[in-house]
Amino acid sequence: MNNMWQYSHTGFQVLQIPTLRDNYTYMVLPDDLPSAWVIDPADAGLVVQSCQLKKRWINHIWNTHHHWDHTDGNDVLREKYDCVVHAAKIERLRIPSMTHELSDHESWNIDGLTIEVLAVPGHTDGHLAFLVGNALFCGDALFSAGCGRLFEGTPAQMLGSLQRLMSLPDATLVYCAHEYTLMNLQFARAVADSLADRTYHRHCLKRQSVVTAMRHDGQPSVPVLLKEERLFNPFLQVWHERFCANYAQIHGTGHSPLAVFTHMRQWRNNFLC
């Protein structure tokens, strides 16, 4: 079985399970209980092995969106554990074994914990993020040093979703669903270089050095504190007026956060790492 990592939060632990090529599945382990929740199970076998190792059983599955690399384990886990499968209401026809429809702003109290539902469309129309304490499970909406491609939503939707996540406290730990950080930081440095922005370039270079060492040692680059993410994620710079003005002048875009974000997201789509 692949390496796993476990992180402590008030009232629960988070188990991080690497799966497929670069995905992460997460399990929330409530303190002093035999149950567990799983977020985006791509590989049912790895989740079952994790349950056996931790002496847990799955009572809830939470899907951030419908892509197969986040839902492929649903059917097997639902059959084995008779668990509840949650996803966005509009994903009813696209989420395997879905049992419960979720809406924005919902809050569930389960196993002594509270999970808050945040609609963050952009990557897909029905994309959700889940907040448990200070742990944010954001799927493919926000990556470390990046954000998801716009497969179904609009730039305005994605920008609004990122702004919503940006409103969370600095102490929020971001658990995203892919290990894309080093690739994303290459793009972030390209943005910084194009703008000759020394301060932003310094933040990117520092983070790249830290993540390179972590990955060399076989460690994941996430979770990451939102306070830190704000410093080097290029898509989170668009709310800084000086950044947008500089970007617009260099790249010939409008000065608004949306104009800069739209151009930058398209640039990222075509950027060769």
Residue 31 backbone phi and psi in degrees, to 5: -65, 140
Asked if 166 and 205 sit in the same domain, the reply is no
Contact in structure between 71 and 96 (CB atoms under 8 Å): yes
Listed residues 176, 203, 227: the one ending a domain:
176
- In this structure, are residues 12 and 19 in contact, taking their beta carbons and an 8 Å threshold? no
Shared-domain flag, residues 143 and 239:
no
CATH code, domain with 115: 3.60.15.10
pTM of the model: 0.96
State the average pLDDT for the chain: 97
- If asked whether residues 61 and 155 sit together in one domain, one would say yes
Task: Examine the domain organization and report whether 154 and 221 are in the same domain.
Answer: no
CA distance 199 to 26: 34
Query: Residue 132 belongs to what domain range?
Result: 5-176
pLDDT tens-digit map of 17-34: 999 999 999 999 999 999
| Residue that is last in its domain, among 147, 176, 205 | 176
Same domain assignment for residues 165 and 212: no
Same domain? For 163 and 195 the reply is no
Q: In this structure, what is the dihedral angle of CA atoms 156, 162, 165, 169, given to the nearest 10 degrees?
A: -120
14 lies in the same domain as 122? yes
170 and 194 housed in the same domain: no
Express each pLDDT in 76-115 by its tens digit: 999 999 999 999 999 999 999 999 999 999 999 999 999 9
